[in-house]
Structure 1
Amino acid sequence: MKINNAEINAVNKLPSNVRYEYFIKKVTDYEEVWGLFNDGWATSRGEDGSLFIPFFPKKEFAEINAEKEWASYEARSITLDDFIESWLTGMKKDGINPSIFPLGNETAAVSIDNLLKNLETELENY
């Protein structure tokens, strides 16, 4: 289900912690997470050099972020089950952090353990 420009604009104005809550609700509603892909998944580095992979709640938000160094990337979905069971486990093992719903330099910094807990809590509502 596509979202309209009014919703995109409204959500993009929210602070990162509220966008994080939106992310949790949307990915559990639609059972998919979105990233950016081009011969590999988009990544960024934190100020301390740590590696992050950005994730988005809907295709439209991922597409908006396909700019600058990610201009050649396209939005690609990951099933929520695969995200929980494979991605987050592998990322934790490899020391890669999730960057949830980044906008510019602003992102929700959350540990994989907390992200998993929040997703599982939200999934209990279904």
Structure 2
Amino acid sequence: MTIDQQTIDNVSQLDAEKRYQYLLDEVATHRQLWILVDEHGSVMLNTEDEDCVPVWPHQAFAEAWATGDWADCKAESISLNKWLSRWTNGLLDDELALVVFPVTEEDGLVLYPDEFDLDLQKANKRKK
């Protein structure tokens, strides 16, 4: 799915909580989310307390974030079914958190995979 620049600009200006809600709705609608990968696998970010995998609702947002040290990374989609069946447990096993929808000017929310999973499932039920 393509997304226009005006939407990218508008959504990028939302606060972290509103971007999170946007991501949940978009993932439930399009049944995929996006990560950045390099030759070593998924890009990781570090907070003071957590190692995190960043996620985005569209390829364009992931690619817009891939600058500087991450300029060589590419956006990769993960289907919602694959995320729910493999990624949540894998992240929990590896003791990793998520940073949801960071943008250039602002960090995303940091969540544990099981919290994110629960919110994704709720959003998915609302879309059915």
Normalising by the smaller structure, the TM-score range is: over 0.9
Per the alignment, residue 120 of structure 2 pairs with: 119
Q: Partner of 2:114: helix, strand, or coil?
A: helix
Root-mean-square deviation (CA), in Å?
Answer: 1.1
Per the alignment, residue 43 of structure 1 pairs with: 44
Counting only pairs closer than 5 Å after superposition, residues 1-126 of structure 1 correspond to structure 2 as 1-39=1-39, 40-48=41-49, 50-104=50-104, 105-125=106-126, 126=128
TM-score, normalised relative to structure 2: 0.93
Structure 2, unmatched stretches of 5+, are none
1:92 deviates by: 0.7
1:113 deviates by: 2.0
Structure 1, unmatched stretches of 5+, are none
Structure 1's consecutive aligned runs of 4 or more residues displaced over 2 angstroms after TM superposition are: none
1:110 deviates by: 1.9
Distance 2:94 2:115 in 1: 17
Q: Partner of 1:72: helix, strand, or coil?
A: coil
AA in 2 matched with 1:108: L
AA in 1 matched with 2:113: I
1:9 deviates by: 0.2
TM-score, normalised relative to structure 1: 0.94
The Cα offsets for residues 5-26 of structure 1, whole Å up to 9 and x where unpaired, read as 0000000000000000000000
106-115 vs 23-32, which moves further: 106-115
AA in 2 matched with 1:55: V
Aligned residues: 125
Distance 1:103 1:63 in 2: 10
